[in-house]
Amino acid sequence: MSSRANARPTMRDVAQVAGVSLKTVSRVINGEAGVADPTAARVARAIAAIGFQRNDLAASLRHGRSSGTLGLVIEDVANPFYSVIAQAVESAARARGLMLITASAREDPHREHELVAAMLRRRVDALLIVPVGGDHRYVAQGAGRVPAVFLDRPPEQVDADRVLIENAAGARRAVEHLLEHGHERIAVVSDAPELYTTRERLAGYRAGLRAASVGDRSALVRAGNRTAVQAQVAVTELLTLPPRERPTAILTANNRNTVGALRALAGRRRRPSLVGFDDFELADVLGVTVVRSDPALLGASAARLAFGRLDGEDGPPRHLEVPAELVARGSGELAA
């Protein structure tokens, strides 16, 4: 009988039903050696009879070491770029027997901090973070801190394990590609300039133009478009510039901006060339040239770094970079 009616059965309940001691039940559950077969069978029967299931929280409290969970703080699970990362991290976690706690910070530094704190209180074994901004020293501080790996963007005010994408090089490659096709008035439509990825991609864009001795194009830089709708507006505006200021090519600096640009361009007869940063589903069907990286590799690498730390790998923070390659599909190969 349960100590209290309707409560989840405990090992004590199992022990009582099986007529053995607590420790014997523990042995059977954890598959430890040293239990006579008939005894083990009696315990197993009791477990099945009362529907016992071990309380992992209590177990991990007892031995202190692992809670069996991995924490992932991303920007937004609904964004395909991040959902692929989440998928890769989940696979890695599962391979190691960890469950994944996921939360979206939504570009809010305060919220990010809160989520990290909540995960630490829940004693995650390690943290994977797509940092928003602000000061990240809080992650490195405090006794008994947990391995933390930053994805997609570096932490601020502190050095730590991280996996980034070839942002500047990728953007520069896109610009060079457009230059090769005769474009000189190349516009760029990007997310908020405070974001690391935006800054790097803009830097790559500028470096590409500079290397080709193309003059200042700051009038064609449209940053600050957080949503597809904002990007759509920005592109529409670019298209209504007077002919000799109007860009003949556009670089969209992330997937949401690309989506907005495609909406702005839909149905137009004469379209500018377009290269998007980040690949997306159906880019092949739409014939959109993109700079493609591998979000799944990003997530998997970050997990690998974190697991390495869990396995005792010591040493200075590691910096990994995932390559970005240009995939020509038509939209980026239109003549100027």
Which residues sit at the interface with DNA, rule CB under 7 A? 3, 7-8, 10-12, 20-24, 26-27, 29-30, 33-36, 39-40, 52, 54-55, 58-59, 61-64
Q: Binding of a copy of itself at residue 103 (CB under 8 A)? A: yes
Q: Which is nearer to a copy of itself, 13 or 161 (CB)?
A: 13
HEC string of the chain equals: CCCCCCCCCCHHHHHHHHCCCHHHHHHHHCCCCCCCHHHHHHHHHHHHHHCCCCCHHHHHHHHCCCCCEEEEEECCCCCHHHHHHHHHHHHHHHHCCCEEEEEECCCCHHHHHHHHHHHHHCCCCEEEECCCCCCCHHHHCCCCCCCEEEECCCCCCCCCEEEEECHHHHHHHHHHHHHHCCCCCEEEECCCCCCHHHHHHHHHHHHHHHHCCCCCCHHHEECCCCCHHHHHHHHHHHHCCCCCCCCCEEEECCHHHHHHHHHHHCCCCCCCEEEEECCCCCHHHHCCEEEECCHHHHHHHHHHHHHHHHCCCCCCCCEEEECCEEECCCCCCCCC
Instruction: State the minimum distance, in angstroms, from the CB of residue 32 to DNA.
Output: 8
Stretch of 18-26, 102-110, 178-186, 316-324 lying at the interface with a copy of itself (CB under 8 A): 102-110
Least distance (Å) between residue 200 CB and a copy of itself: 25
Beta carbon nearer to a copy of itself, 24 or 67: 67
Torsion angle of C-alpha atoms 85, 321, 285, 237, degrees rounded to 10: 100
- Partner interacting with residue 83 (select from a copy of itself, DNA, none; CB below 5-8 Å by kind): a copy of itself
CB of 122 to DNA, least distance (A): 12
Residue 62's Cα: distance from chain center in Å? Answer: 32
- Say if residues 174 and 326 touch (Cβ distance below 8 Å): yes
Binding residue count for a copy of itself, defined by CB under 8 A: 56
d(CA 233, CA 307) in angstroms, rounded, equals: 43
The residue from 101, 126, 148, 187 that contacts a copy of itself (CB under 8 A) is: 101
Q: Which does 192 bind (CB under 5 to 8 A by kind): DNA, a copy of itself, none?
A: none
**Contacting residue, 37, 281, 311, 314, with a copy of itself by CB under 8 A:** 281
- Is residue 262 a contact point for a copy of itself (CB under 8 A)? yes
* Least distance CB 226 / a copy of itself (angstroms): 16
Q: How far apart are CA 222 and CA 239, in angstroms?
A: 12
Q: Binding segment for a copy of itself among 206-214, 283-291, 302-310, 318-326 (CB under 8 A)?
A: 283-291
With binding defined as CB under 8 A, does residue 34 bind a copy of itself?
no
Partner interacting with residue 33 (select from DNA, a copy of itself, none; CB below 5-8 Å by kind): DNA
Taking the complex as a whole, how short is the minimal distance between the CB of residue 40 and DNA, in angstroms?
7
- Distance, first Cα to last Cα, the chain: 82
**Which of a copy of itself, DNA, none lies near 87, with the C-beta cut-off 5 to 8 A by kind?**
a copy of itself
Contacts of a copy of itself in 73-92 (CB under 8 A): 76-78, 80, 83-84, 86-87, 90
* Binding of residue 142 to a copy of itself (CB under 8 A): yes
Residue 63 binds which one of a copy of itself, DNA, none, with CB within 5 to 8 A depending on kind?
A: DNA
Distance CA 144, CA 120 (A): 10
Give the interface with a copy of itself as residue ranges (CB under 8 A). 2, 6-9, 50-51, 53-58, 60-61, 64, 67-69, 76-78, 80, 83-84, 86-87, 90, 94, 99-104, 117-123, 141-144, 259, 262-263, 266, 280-282, 284-286
